[in-house]
Amino acid sequence: MMNENMLNLEGEKYLVTGASSGIGQATAILISKLGGKVILNGRSGERLNQTYSKMEGEGHHVMPFDLTNQEGIKTYIDSCLKIDDQRLDGVVFAAGIGGGSVLRAENLENLQHIIEANFLPYFSILKACSSRRVLNDGGSIVAISSRAAKNPDKAQLSYASSKAALDTASEVAALEFAKRRVRVNTVRPEMVDTPMGAAFFESVSPEQQKEFYPLDPLTAEDVANTIAFLLSDMSSKITGQHICLSAGNDGRPIDFLI
């Protein structure tokens, strides 16, 4: 069936965290256009409703919850299953924050804050997905990592470490879940033109931008496209991998801001 559209996510149910803005929002919208049903996670119901209003199809649910509330995650995921009495077919972990400074100015509190937001909830979500009562066999999990996990820059100890942790955790989960044909991958985008990447794009000239990213800077939609591929059967033999979205950057540092 060469012509079959394998990017069809019809009838599949996905939990998308960080769905209020940026990559999470773009992914939720794209999944809905491909026929999937989305549980929208974020802290603010009001902001999630804005994402919801841009989505197509039916069967989506706005389910606000602060994922830094570690103890509550299992109960939250159970409520995501109960709302339509269906298990998940995939999870997109797009919740995350930036920030951090050079070591001389960095502090333990900030490191903890970033790890608590960017990494610890992913552990609880993977743990929940270790049961087929939560995630159906054949499901797909995608976390948003970063170029920083592979090419960290100055002032990125906290952020880059949290993203590298996501990558390594995904490799372990990929091994443990393979028997169920559950796949676990991450994407490593370069700077993305989202609220989180705004400071970078405001500080470079159009000429510099072109030098960094000959293919043009990444948009949230570019990243969402790769995520949809990783959720779909088109990537059914890809697991434990980290897909670099390079936009043509040759690995050069972006630390000139410091």
Partner 1 sequence: MNIQEKLSLIEEALDTEENTLTPETVLEDVDSWDSIAALSLIAMMDDNFGKTLSGSEIKALVTVGDILAHME
| Nearer residue to partner 1 within complex by CB, 56 or 176 | 176
How many whole angstroms separate alpha carbon 221 and alpha carbon 48?
17
- HSE-CB at 199 with a 13 A cutoff on CA atoms is 8
Give the H or E element holding residue 191.
Answer: none
| Nearer residue to partner 1 within complex by CB, 47 or 132 | 132
Q: How far is the CB of 133 from partner 1 (least distance, A)?
A: 7
| Nearer residue to partner 1 within complex by CB, 129 or 160 | 129
How many whole angstroms separate alpha carbon 129 and alpha carbon 147?
26
Show the tokens assigned to 155.
Answer: 């002032």
Show the tokens assigned to 113.
Answer: 């804050």
| φ, ψ (nearest 5 deg) of residue 94 | -115, 5
Q: How far is the CB of 71 from partner 1 (least distance, A)?
A: 16
Q: How far is the CB of 224 from partner 1 (least distance, A)?
A: 31
| Nearer residue to partner 1 within complex by CB, 131 or 236 | 131
Q: How far is the CB of 180 from partner 1 (least distance, A)?
A: 8
| φ, ψ (nearest 5 deg) of residue 21 | -155, 175
| Nearer residue to partner 1 within complex by CB, 77 or 247 | 77
Q: How far is the CB of 47 from partner 1 (least distance, A)?
A: 35
Look at residues 179, 196, 72 and name the one whose alpha carbon lies nearest to residue 125.
72
Give the H or E element holding residue 146.
Answer: none
Q: How far is the CB of 131 from partner 1 (least distance, A)?
A: 5
| Nearer residue to partner 1 within complex by CB, 179 or 237 | 179
| Nearer residue to partner 1 within complex by CB, 48 or 173 | 173
**Contact residues: partner 1, CB under 8 A:** 130-133, 176, 179
Q: How far is the CB of 154 from partner 1 (least distance, A)?
A: 40
SS3 153: coil
CB distance 141 to 185 below 8 Å: yes
Q: How far is CA 13 from the centre of its chain?
A: 16
Show the tokens assigned to 165.
Answer: 């942790």
How many whole angstroms separate alpha carbon 237 and alpha carbon 230?
10
